[in-house]
Structures are given as structure tokens and as C-alpha cells.
Amino acid sequence: MTDPFAPIPRSADAGADRREVASVSDCGALCDPQRLAALAETGLDVAPDPVMDALTERVRRRLGVPVALVSLVTPDQQMFPGMTGLPEPWASRRSTPLSHSFCQHVVASAAPLIIEDAREHPLVRTNLAVGELGVVAYAGMPLTDEAGNVLGSLCAIDTRPRRWAPEQIESLADLAQTCSTELRLRLARVDADRERRRRDQVDARLRRSIGHSETLAFASQAFAGTETVDDVRERIGETVRHGLSPAYVGLTVLDDEQRLQRLRDARFPSGDEQYDPWVHYGLDAPLPSASAVRTGRIVHYPDRAAFDTVHPAPVRLLHDKLGLQAVVAAPLPGPEGPIGAVVLGWEQPRPLDADDLVTVTTIAGYAGQALARAQHRQAEQQRVTATRQLLEALQRSLLSSPFEPDHLQLAVRYLPASRDTAIGGDWYDAFMLRDGALCLAIGDVAGHDRSAVVAMGQLRNLLRGIAYSAHDTPSAVLTELDGAITDLAVGTLATSVLARIEQPAQLAARGLRRMRWSNAGHPPPLLIDPDGRPRLLYTPPERLLGLGRSARRTDHALDLEPGATLLLYTDGLVERRDRDVDAGLAWLLDRAAEPAHSTLEELCDGLLAEVTERHDDIAVIAIRAHPEDRPRPPASGPEVLHPAD
């Protein structure tokens, strides 16, 4: 085995000498990113370090040398955080360029370097340290980190030739190990600090996440008991204090003239005419609240520089008066668009992350619902008829005409349980997903009053949002909706069928469409074949929505032939006080078989016409694949997939 402490022999080939020296001047190991990163993290440079200076003094005493160095090598210099005996001007500089460095060879080779007379040694005899620093004898040991990266060298230097004794080399190696241990401890402290910062960041994110969850949970219930607009403003202030902690909370409400009215605001400057234009203003006003209502989007300025860039001087003056640095304004959603805006402000810069913005938007959503309810109550005290019309408008906005894609006919119906007002807890929905599939939903929230409408709107919008963004199967979407109902404490029970109609290329050539659906405790869908034969798509029963997080739900699938009709409905269509559900389903099968060649509109109207006594809401959504999409059938006939559980 080669002795690592043996002197490097002279080379008989001068060209080989030059090649050896040139190899060290190349970047090589000196430029290794991991090594340089560790070197930087030690925090050591040309500044004197007491621990490193003490180590070099121990080297000087034990080995009896005039010069000892702790040398850390970079791609362009060597630095001496520990040093003793070095002559000027190098002692003041505590560094040399690599042209004066023996230690670079220790780093490059990752091995000790022992030289008795540098003037005759082929590796270093041309090094400028020989002539300018008087380096003749040299013994250098690698200084390594935990990963084995060589950061530099602990070296002993003599100004005259010296044959290094084995015990001196051993002592120098021991001290180098001590120095390496000190470097590793420093790097470990850096790693520990980094890990602590990472944990602190994770902890901060976790605390913020918990804060967001608590805020959302509080918000889901905080607005339930609000009666007036002032109650809504007060609850907004209570809700945002949980995690957002703004210094300012403002509320503006859209009036009958489509102008924004700033509500009572203790912080807003009063009695000064220059601020009067910002008390009652139009949607085109250059204020964050007006922008939020006008665009229907949240607006956020994390600091005054961002705010001042896009706002005129009078508005900047107002925010100076309010003492705000960061501002966020969120629209308050109403039945027909934003009905106002909530404005939060902070006295210090406050960037809001995505979770913060979701929290603000959610609070604004609850506040918008609460504000709408408060306005409804106030209007009800004045005119009962106007209140009824407003509630009907709300229902229409939630149950608007659904999207009808090409080559699919679609019809919807809705009848509330009460003949006095057209509101209830049943809903239907049809909309296109981003992948081109048609999403169908039918649902029934427990109850028939205004609270059922609110819960229905929450579930419908949650379901629509999850389905549109999830790119997932119906069962997965309903499972996610279960989680949202629990996490947001919506506090309602509901049944639903969620289906998606898609037409993969292999089915399109045959004129077929694939239907996938999942059933959450809802009556079974009705399928009417092209020849008029009806059948109920029974599937194993699954739990209702709102009973807490459920296990993974089940998907079912079948192929729709051209001319086939699918009917989704709520239980009000088949339930009666004088008969059970099974009898109602039998009635539905019997009636659906009669109008084999009727239109969808005739089918829906014919079924509802026989419901003479209503005790529950009824929602119906029906689709039919265009018969003309039917291709010329093969001799064996088309293959139809039936539900597989």
C-alpha cells in the first residue's frame, strides 16, 4: 500500500511536471458546488477566528515550525481564518492567491501532502510561495466535512528543508481531525439552524392553515344569526380577527341606483369635504371596493408602492388618512352579481398568499349571503310581495337554464313544495367540464325554507366548483364534497346523483355516449331505451351527503344509444303521503313507458301534471341523445354496457 505521508518523488520528465501543475490550475475539485456550498456555510473567511488561531498555535508548538495555517481554498484564493507566523503583507491580508498555494493540491488530491524541500519538488518548485513567502518544508492535512468534501488544509511550514518525523505527521493528522470536527460542528449548527428555520416555516404554515380552517369554520356559522346589515359588518370584523387580523374593516353596499354606499365607519374621516366623494360613489370610482364589485374579483395591494402605482392622488390621500399600507377588497356575492364589497386594510405591508385570498373570498361569500338575507328581511318588513319576488329571483339564479351541448336535448323542471313562493331545497345543474364532458347533477337538501335554499346554493356551488376543477370521476367528486361539507361545517343533509356524459372516440364512431354516475342516497335514475322501454338504474345504496367524511364512493357506467332518454329527479316526484316509495317508482316506470315518442318537454310536463298534491320540492332534469346520431348498425347489433357494481 502506498504511504500517504511519503514525499512525492521528483519527476524525471519536465513536461510531466508542467502537466501536473496545469491540472491543479484547472477548476476541478476546487469548483465542486457541494464543496463550495459547505465552505460558505462554515462562515469562515479572512477574518481571524479564535478557535482556528488556537489550533495553528498548537501546530506551531507541537511540530516546532515557524508558520502554521488553517487554509480554506476557493477557486481563486486560499483564506486563513487560523494563522500563526506568516510574514507581512500576507499576515494582514490573511489570504494568498492560488499562485502562492500548496494547500490547493491537498484539496485537489484529497490526500496529505508532505514536502521536505519545495525548491526541488516537481509539484511546487515553481510556486510563488517558495520565493515570496519562504515556504521550503510543508506538511498539509485535508480538512473535511461530514460528506467527505475537502474544504482546505491544516498545514505546518518551515523556511528550511526538513525531514518530517512520523510522530510529527501523526500529531498534525490528529490536530487536522480536531479542526475537521470543529468545521463539521459549525456546519451541523448551520444545518440545525436551517432545519429549525424549515420547521419554523412549516409550523408557521401549519398555524396559518389551522387559522384559516378555524376562520372558515367560524365563518360558516358566524353569519347564520345576522339580521341587519350592521350585524353583517360586525360579524365580518369578528371573523377576520381569527387569522387575518386587519387594522381596518370596511363595508360598502350596492344601492338601488347601482352606486356604492360606505356604511358607518369610525375610522373614515368625516366632516371633510375632500373625502365626501368616497362615501357614496359609482362603480367606476378608482377605489378597490368599486373595482371588486365592478369586476366581481378580489383585488389585493400588498404595500403602498403597489397601491400608489394604480390609484390617483385623491385616493392615495384617503389611504394616507386611513393609515393603511396593504389593502384587499373582495366582492360580496349576491343572487344576481356582487351586492357590495368588504375592504380589509393593514398598517404594515401584508402580502396575502393563496390560502389568505381563499379565506377572504370565503368570508366574503358567507358575508354576501348574510347581507342578502339581511336585505331580504328588511325588504320583507316593508313589502311582502317584493320579498317574495326577490326570493324567486334567487331561486332562478341558482336554477337557471342549464347548458345544452350539441347532439343532446335537455329539459329541466322545478316545482317548490309551497305554491306561495317558488323556492326550495332541490336543485339541478348541467354544465360543461374542461375536458369536454357534460356534467349533470340533481340534488335534494333537507327542508323547503330559505335556509334550505342557502344550503342548496352552497352545495350546488361547492359541487360545481369541485367537479370543474377536480378532473375526476363522479364518485371522487362526491367524496370530495363530503369532505368540504364537513370541513366548512355547512350543517345540512342532502342526497344527490352526479353524472358525466362523455363520448370517447371509440364510442363516437358507433353513435354511443358513455354515462358514468355515482349515487349518494338519491332515487335511482330512469333510463328510457330508444324503443321506449324504461328501466330504473338501481345501484347498491350509499350514504347521504353531510354525514361526515365517507369512504370512497362507487362509480357506475353504461353506454347511451342514440334516442335514449335519461331522467334524473328528486323524491318529490315519486313520494306521496298515501303510498310508499316503491309504489311511486312503479308509477314512474308505468308513466314513462306510455309516451314512447313524446318530446322531452312533453315527457316532463306529462309526469308533473299527474302530481296533483305536492308535499315536497320536485326537480327534474332530462337528456336525450339525438336519434339521428345512430350509425348504420352492424349485423350483430350494438353492444350496450349496463351498470356494474
pLDDT band for position 536 (cuts 50, 70, 90): very high
> What is the Cα–Cα distance from 381 to 282, expressed in whole angstroms?
28
Mean pLDDT of the region 173-186 = 94
At residue 210, the pLDDT reads: 67
At residue 385, the pLDDT reads: 43
Which of 48-57, 427-436, 465-474 has maximum average pLDDT? 48-57
Tell me if the bond preceding 302 is cis, omega within 30° of 0.
no
At residue 386, the pLDDT reads: 43
Q: How far is CA 206 from CA 183, 193, 212, 488, 549, in A?
A: 34, 19, 10, 18, 22
> What is the Cα–Cα distance from 410 to 50, expressed in whole angstroms?
84
The pTM of this model reads 0.42
CB 507 within 8 A of CB 513: yes
> What is the Cα–Cα distance from 534 to 515, expressed in whole angstroms?
16
Tell me if the bond preceding 89 is cis, omega within 30° of 0.
yes
Superfamily of structural domain 223-382: GAF domain (3.30.450.40)
Map residue 549 onto helix, strand or coil: coil
pLDDT tens digit sequence for 297-318 = 999 999 999 999 989 988 888 8
Mean pLDDT of the region 353-379 = 82
pLDDT band for position 108 (cuts 50, 70, 90): very high
Which of 222-226, 535-539, 572-576, 596-600 has maximum average pLDDT? 535-539
* Chain-centre distance for alpha carbon 142: 46
Q: How far is CA 291 from CA 142, 237, 252, 339, in A?
A: 65, 21, 12, 13
At residue 16, the pLDDT reads: 35
Correct CATH for 14-190 of 3.40.50.300, 3.30.450.40, 3.40.50.2300, 3.90.1170.50: 3.30.450.40
Q: Which of 502, 605, 495 lies closest to 542, judged by CA? A: 495
Q: Which residue has the higher pLDDT, 129 or 216?
A: 129
Share of the chain above pLDDT 70, in %: 84
At residue 216, the pLDDT reads: 66
33-42, 124-133, 329-338, 386-395: which has the minimum mean pLDDT?
386-395
pLDDT at 125 over 70: yes
Q: Is the Cα torsion angle 392, 229, 450, 241 positive or negative in sign?
A: positive
Domain 398-629 in the same topology as domain 14-190: no
pLDDT at 100 over 90: yes
pLDDT at 420 over 60: no
Q: Which of 96, 108, 30 lies closest to 69, judged by CA? A: 96
In the chain, where the domains are located: 14-190, 223-382, 398-629
pLDDT at 596 over 50: yes
At residue 593, the pLDDT reads: 81
Q: Which CATH class is domain 398-629?
A: alpha beta
pLDDT tens digit sequence for 569-584 = 999 899 887 788 889 9
Radius of gyration of the chain from its Cα atoms, rounded to whole angstroms: 40
List CB contacts of 461: < 8 A, sequence separation 6 or more: none
Q: Which residue has the higher pLDDT, 578 or 645?
A: 578
Q: Where are the alpha helices (DSSP H) in 75-135?
A: 90-93, 103-109, 128-132
Strands 95-97, 513-520: parallel, antiparallel or unpaired by DSSP? Answer: unpaired
| 8 DSSP 8-state letter | P
At residue 354, the pLDDT reads: 84
